[in-house]
């Protein structure tokens, strides 16, 4: 299936999920989900994946649920999952290497009726990845390298930014007198930007714009992938 973009009915369908967030309603509209979201998402992963593999050959682009595509049902263990069992935003991930998809550096996006969110890096660290990140940036040169990567990316576009700090206290081996010590206070390390969600309706424009963003943010992808390899080595 060639990717030509998502239907103009896709965002209204996500808005309808929000208003009718229950499994009975969704079951009655399963065909719409497949037509408006699942099938074009699979086509998108295939085409976008080919572009991204030109940047990083080891990027995974697998158009299956629990691979590059996320389940439409919320994890029942998560807060609010019973009250809102259906996701009203659609996430897609292209991760690098053999690590867990959420714990290796990735090219990521999600869209909802309000926004198209585009990100690169690791959005939150599980403990092995957090330990590997801190071990990496204990090195003065690596901290300076990461600080410069973030600075250069943000300079490319005023709408590019990165995650906010998640911790208030410096972890062991870091202190306020160290240059760029604040990098140790992050719970994840990713850069991102937010676009008009209607961009998803034009396949060519969507692919081209995402490629520009991901190419701009590629240095962080590469840095964080090196961090993820520390976890594998351990």
**Residues 212-226: tens digit of each pLDDT:** 999 999 999 999 999
What share of the chain in percent tops pLDDT 70? 96
Determine the 3-state secondary structure of 161 from DSSP. Answer: strand
Instruction: State the pLDDT at residue 80.
Output: 58
Confidence check: pLDDT of 77 > 80: no
Task: Report pLDDT for 102.
Answer: 83
Pairwise CA distance, residues 94 & 89, whole Å = 17
Picking from 51, 195, 15, the residue whose alpha carbon sits closest to that of residue 119 is: 195
Pick the CATH number of 10-233 from 1.10.357.10, 1.10.10.10, 3.20.20.60, 3.30.930.20: 3.30.930.20
Residue 81 pLDDT exceeds 60? no
Round to whole Å and give the CA distance between 25 and 226.
Answer: 44
pLDDT band at 101 (very low <50, low <70, confident <90, very high): confident
Average pLDDT over residues 136-156: 98
Q: How large a percentage of the chain has pLDDT more than 90?
A: 89
Burial 144-180 (b: 16+ CB within 10 A, else e): eebeebbeebeeeeeebebbeeeeeeeeeebeeebeb
When pLDDT is cut at 50, 70 and 90, the band that residue 194 belongs to is very high
| Mean pLDDT rounded to a whole number for the chain | 94
Pair 23, 227: CB distance under 8 Å: no
Residue 33's pLDDT band, with cuts at 50, 70 and 90, is: very high
Instruction: Give the angle 82-88-90 at the CA atoms, nearest 5°.
Output: 120
Domain boundaries defined on the chain: 10-233
Mean pLDDT of the region 51-63: 95
Contact 93, 175 (CB under 8 A): no
Which helix (H) or strand (E) segment holds residue 120: the answer is strand 116-122
């Amino acid at each position: 299936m060639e990717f030509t973009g998502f239907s103009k009915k896709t965002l209204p369908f996500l808005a309808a999920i929000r208003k009718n967030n229950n499994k009975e309603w969704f079951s009655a509209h399963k065909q719409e989900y497949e037509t408006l979201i699942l099938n074009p998402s699979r086509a998108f992963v295939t085409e976008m994946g080919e572009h991204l593999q030109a940047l990083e050959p080891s990027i995974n682009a697998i158009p299956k649920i629990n691979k590059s595509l996320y389940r439409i049902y919320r994890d029942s263990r998560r807060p609010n999952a019973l009250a809102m069992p259906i996701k009203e935003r659609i996430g897609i991930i292209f991760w690098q290497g053999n690590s867990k998809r959420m714990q290796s550096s990735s090219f990521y996006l999600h869209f909802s009726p309000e926004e198209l969110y585009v990100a690169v890096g690791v959005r939150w660290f599980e403990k092995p990845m957090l330990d590997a990140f801190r071990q990496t940036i204990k090195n003065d040169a690596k901290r300076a390298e990461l600080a410069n990567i973030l600075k250069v990316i943000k300079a490319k576009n005023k709408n590019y930014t990165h995650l906010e700090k998640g911790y208030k206290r410096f972890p062991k081996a870091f202190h306020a007198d160290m240059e760029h010590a604040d990098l140790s206070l992050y719970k994840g390390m990713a850069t991102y930007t937010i676009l008009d969600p209607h961009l998803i309706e034009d396949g060519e424009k969507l692919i081209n714009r995402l490629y520009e963003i991901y190419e701009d943010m590629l240095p962080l992808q590469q840095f964080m992938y090196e961090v993820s390899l520390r976890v594998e080595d351990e």
